[in-house]
Every structure is written in C-alpha cells, then in structure tokens.
Amino acid sequence: MPTLETLSFDNAFARLPDAFFTRLPPQPLPDPYLVAASPAAAALIGLDAAELARPEFAQVFSGNRLLPGSEPLAAVYSGHQFGVWAGQLGDGRAHLLGEVAGTGTGWEIQLKGAGQTPYSRFADGRAVLRSSIREFLCSEAMAALGIPTTRALSVVGSHAPVRRETMETAAVVARLAPSFIRFGSFEHWAAKGKTTELRQLADYVIERFRPECRDAANPYGALLADVGRRTGELIARWQAVGFMHGVMNTDNMSILGLTLDYGPFGFMDAFDPHHICNHSDDRGRYSYKSQPQIGHWNLYALGSALAPLIGEPEDVQAAIETSYAPAFEGHFMDLMRAKLGLARALPGDEDFIGDTFGMLQQQHPDYTQFFRRLGTLPAKVDETTRTTTDAPLRDLAIDRDGLDAWLALWRARLAAEGRPDAERQAAMMGVNPKYVLRNWIAESAIRAAQGGNFSEVDKVLACLASPFDDQPHNERYAAPPPDWAAGLAVSCSS
Ligand code: AMP
Ligand code: MG
C-alpha cells in the first residue's frame, strides 16, 4: 500500500497547454493540525488508514509540504453567477496537486483554501474552518447516500486568522475527484472565441472520461448529451433526498455530473418547496423547487459554449432536449417510487407522486423523517386501530384528515402490487435515509471544533457513513432542528 511519500502521480491535466492553468505552489499555513480525515476517501487512493495519523499528513494536506510527483497548479475557468455572465473566475483558492492512481479513473487531489492564485481577484485565497468542515462532511455524506460527488480526504486547520463577517481561522480541505472541470471551464474559451483551446479541453474530457463519445457521429454533441444525462440524474437525486446545492452557478457545475463546490447547501428539514438554503440568494434562484430548471438553464450555457464544436444550433438543442429532461424525469420518478415503497411503474404514478408533493407542501413534515417513518407502516390497516398504527406519521402532520386521505391513496397504490410488507419495508429502509447532514448537525460539529474538540466531526462522519442504518447511539442525529438552530442561516461567506 502506498504511503504519503510513495503515492504514484500521473498528472494528465498538467500536460494540457499552459493556457489552461498557472503553476504555483500552495502557500504554507502556520502550525497545521489535523481536524478530521475520511478513511473511506483515503481508501480510494489506496492510502493506508495509518497514514492519516502521521504528523506529516497535516503538513502535506495543508499544502506546507509537497508530495513527490505532484505538480501544483490553479486552473482557469469563467462562468455565469446567479444568471449573469461573470467573466473570468478560476481556482482562486484551490491548488490541484495532481492525479494519483486509484479505484476507477484515478483521482485528482485538490487543496481548497491553500492560498492566493492569479484567479483570487481581491480575495484572500483562504477558507475558514466552518465552511471546510461543512464541505468535508457533506462530500462524504453524499457519497454514502449514493449521490455522485467530489470526495473529501481531510480537513487541516491552522490558527492563522481569516477575516469574514467576523475573524475566524483558516483550514484546508483536500478534495478528490476524477476531474474538477466545470461547465465554466468551457464557457471560458468560448467567451474568448478560442476554439482551439475549447476543442483541446473537450478532447481531453472525451479521451479520459467519455471515450464512447469519440465514436458518435457528433462527438461533442455526444459529450453534451452525456453531461445532460448525468446532470439530470444528479439533480433527480438531489430532489429525492431533499438536498439543495445553494449556488448552482455554471462555475460550480461539474462536467462529470458530480456534486461540486459545497457552500451554503442544505438538506430539507420541514418540507417547503420554496425553501432557499442560501441566505445570500435573495430572489430564490436556487430554491429547492427551482433546481431542476436551473440545471436545464446551465446546460444551455454549456451548450452555447460547445456550439462552435457541435455545429448547428439544432444539434445543440437536440443534445440537451434528448438527454436532460428524460434523465431527470425518469430517475426522479424511479427514486420517488422507491421512496414510497413501490416496486413497479404503473399508469397514474405521476399523478400520485404529484399528489404526494402537494400533501407534503400542505403538511410541512420533516422530509427525512416522513419517508423513514412511512417505511414502518403496514400496507393494510384495520379501521379501529388505524390512528394508532399511523400515529408515527400523523404526529408529523398539521392537518391529520388531509394526511389520512393521502395514506388511503398510498395504501390503494400498494394494494395494486401486493408486495409483502416485510420486503417492502426493508426496501424502503434501504432508500430512505435516517441520517442526513442537517444544518444543525454540521453547526454543532463546527462549534465543538472551533472550541478545539474535533470528536464531534468524527462522530458525524461515522454516523453519516451509514445513513440507512438504525444507529441507536446516534438517535440524536435523526432529529429535526432543535430550538437553538431555528434561525441558523448559511450564506456564501466561506
Ligand atoms: P464560489 O462561489 O465559492 O464557487 O467561488 C466563486 C469564485 O470565487 C471562484 O473563482 C473561487 O475560486 C473564488 N473565491 C471564492 N472565495 C475565495 C477566496 N476566499 N479567495 C480567493 N478566491 C475565492
Ligand atoms: Mg465555486
């Protein structure tokens, strides 16, 4: 098994022409210390769990010491932010160290918060402990939920002060992904009219990650359709689990269809389709309900960037229209059926799932608890004992008669399948998580860590690694927000 010093790097991205990035080392931080590390992420790059405990680990993953074979660089990209063209952005606080061999296509290691780069504009190149813990925990939680995402190997902290709304301290997240290329990486070259670089980047993505596109009649159209399909599936998964990204700008959209750049994200507590998890998003552009149509908008931004390679506008449109909506709708229906305990697709399911969201909107139950508890109910009830049997769900409702009416529809739909309760209930437990990274959970781990106690971060990480298992010692993490967390707001400040 490789150690830190013997990881084998093969830096394909660094072999692209110099126009795509600036080579520069991370800027050291004083006295770095390990806050948390993910053994599951370490395993992806074959790193022995014992390596995480070495003092050198914090030196390496703060950026203070370079691993042999790494070639640090910051990549350039542009993008649309909140629907407006923002021009050049780029890795303003991220250094790509290189790519190590591992399971799958290889893993790039990126340090987020390791100092200024030519793309920092007026910002400090740093990240604070608070936002780093959020990214770390959520990356690993999403992976355990089976949702495509960049991974997080570690958070390393330092006492170095960082100014946000208040003074905070610096931290660095080591992220892993096959690639961090974004929609905005393509928009960058298209906006400059540089078709050569645009093609080089598209060819790089196709060669390394999507070789099957090479054989299509229109390889770049096939690439766009691939991104459309993966993005559709990704956002279906977000909607089904109640995840809100918070800042779906095109520079935060992964060309591989991964959840990328965790900032003011949130998981739905009491269901509200209009919920806006990002306090800085005044108009709710990225609300829960808007995410699917924003995915579509973002694909058109990517499509217009790729247009010079694809050819006719109709081909761009066809690549998006045949991929995104069908993938989103198909996956969303399948995921919702599974959440509801339905094994087969039947006519009328769309209406029933629509009614389900209408009911959730009226009842505002805790979204995660609602489905988890639904999975405990029997398919048949005796009218005399119904209110007791259904109490776990009725207790979450505002209007119990309304909920009862929906439960009757649900039971009628279950009866159309006649699946045994035990089988259906077990299947529901396997798809409806008990534990998600609620804001209050992240916040309590952050407060403990800011006070020097990192054990809460480890406990949350371990709990969320098995989100579908009942964990009696972690019952508290299944709870909706406590009173102290009612007013918690997360913003773009990170
Ligand atoms: P985000 O909204 O975090 O996706 O960031 C948008 C852009 O701002 C990206 O180019 C980031 O690299 C850059 N950025 C955000 N925060 C900082 C920071 N503290 N220092 C330098 N660049 C930053
Ligand atoms: Mg970003």
Question: Within this chain, do residues 289 and 169 fall inside the same structural domain, yes or no?
Answer: no
Residue at 89: amino acid letter: L
Question: Within this chain, do residues 153 and 17 fall inside the same structural domain, yes or no?
Answer: yes
Q: Which domain holds residue 330?
A: 184-334
Question: Within this chain, do residues 171 and 62 fall inside the same structural domain, yes or no?
Answer: yes
Please report the pLDDT score of residue 338 as a whole number.
Answer: 98
Question: Within this chain, do residues 194 and 116 fall inside the same structural domain, yes or no?
Answer: no
Which residues sit opposite 151 in a β-bridge? Answer: 176
Could you read off the pLDDT of 346-365 as tens digits, one per residue?
999 999 999 999 999 999 99
pLDDT at 104 over 80: no
The closest ligand to the CA of 93 turns out to be: 1
Residue nearest to atom 23 of ligand 1 (CA): 92
The mean per-residue pLDDT over the stretch 96-111 comes to: 91
Please report the pLDDT score of residue 103 as a whole number.
Answer: 75
Please report the pLDDT score of residue 323 as a whole number.
Answer: 98
Question: Within this chain, do residues 176 and 141 fall inside the same structural domain, yes or no?
Answer: yes
Number of residues written out for the chain: 494
Please report the pLDDT score of residue 326 as a whole number.
Answer: 98
Residue 283, φ and ψ in degrees, nearest 5? -95, 0
Q: Evaluate whether residue 85 is within a structural domain.
A: yes
Q: Evaluate whether residue 250 is within a structural domain.
A: yes
Question: Within this chain, do residues 261 and 148 fall inside the same structural domain, yes or no?
Answer: no
Question: Within this chain, do residues 290 and 322 fall inside the same structural domain, yes or no?
Answer: yes
Number of separate domains in the chain: 3
Residue 36, φ and ψ in degrees, nearest 5? -165, 155
Domain's final residue, options 395, 418, 441: 418
Could you read off the pLDDT of 135-160 as tens digits, one per residue?
999 999 999 999 999 999 999 999 99
Q: Evaluate whether residue 229 is within a structural domain.
A: yes
Ligand 2 centroid–CA 135 distance in Å is 12
Please report the pLDDT score of residue 261 as a whole number.
Answer: 98
Question: Which region holds residue 278: left if phi is over 0, alpha if psi is between -120 and 50, else beta?
Answer: beta
Mean pLDDT score of the chain: 97
Distance CA 400, CA 458 (A): 39
Per DSSP, the residues of 288-336 read: TTTHHHHHHHHHHHHHHHHHHHH-SHHHHHHHHHTTHHHHHHHHHHHHH
Please report the pLDDT score of residue 320 as a whole number.
Answer: 98
Residue nearest to atom 15 of ligand 1 (CA): 92
The mean per-residue pLDDT over the stretch 436-455 comes to: 98
Of the listed ranges 103-112, 203-212, 460-469, the one predicted with least confidence = 103-112
Ligand 2 centroid–CA 93 distance in Å is 10
Could you read off the pLDDT of 244-298 as tens digits, one per residue?
999 999 999 999 999 999 999 999 999 999 999 999 999 999 999 999 999 999 9
Residue nearest to atom 22 of ligand 1 (CA): 92
Residue at 159: amino acid letter: H
Q: Evaluate whether residue 364 is within a structural domain.
A: yes
Distance CA 334, CA 215 (A): 30
**Residue 94: exposure state from Cβ atoms within 10 A (0-12, 13-18, ≥19):** buried
The secondary structure of the chain in percent helix, strand, coil, rounded to multiples of 5, reads 50, 15, 40
Question: Within this chain, do residues 189 and 127 fall inside the same structural domain, yes or no?
Answer: no
Q: Evaluate whether residue 114 is within a structural domain.
A: yes
Please answer whether residues 241 and 147 qualify as being in contact, where contact means their C-beta atoms are separated by less than 8 angstroms: yes
pLDDT at 188 over 90: yes
For residue 115 and ligand 1, the question of a CB distance below 6 A is answered with no
pLDDT at 105 over 90: no
Contacts of 297 (CB under 8 A, 6+ apart): 83
Please report the pLDDT score of residue 492 as a whole number.
Answer: 87
Could you read off the pLDDT of 408-424 as tens digits, one per residue?
999 999 999 999 999 99
Question: Within this chain, do residues 360 and 408 fall inside the same structural domain, yes or no?
Answer: yes
pLDDT at 487 over 90: no
Distance CA 313, CA 241 (A): 35
Residue 10, φ and ψ in degrees, nearest 5? -140, 100
For residue 102 and ligand 1, the question of a CB distance below 6 A is answered with no
Q: To 5 degrees, how large is the angle CA 378–CA 379–CA 381? A: 75
Domain's final residue, options 130, 160, 182: 182
Question: Within this chain, do residues 280 and 226 fall inside the same structural domain, yes or no?
Answer: yes
For residue 93 and ligand 1, the question of a CB distance below 6 A is answered with yes
Question: Within this chain, do residues 176 and 204 fall inside the same structural domain, yes or no?
Answer: no
Q: What is the DSSP letter of 490?
A: B
Give Cα 21 to chain centroid, integer Å.
25
Per DSSP, the residues of 15-61 read: GS-GGGEEE-PPPP-SS-EEEEE-HHHHHHTT--GGGGGSHHHHHHH
For residue 197 and ligand 1, the question of a CB distance below 6 A is answered with no
Domain's final residue, options 367, 389, 418: 418
pLDDT at 393 over 80: yes
- In percent, the amount of the chain with pLDDT more than 70 equals 100
Which residues sit opposite 172 in a β-bridge? Answer: 156
Encoded tokens for 448: 């403990």
Query: pLDDT-based confidence at 325, cuts 50/70/90?
Result: very high
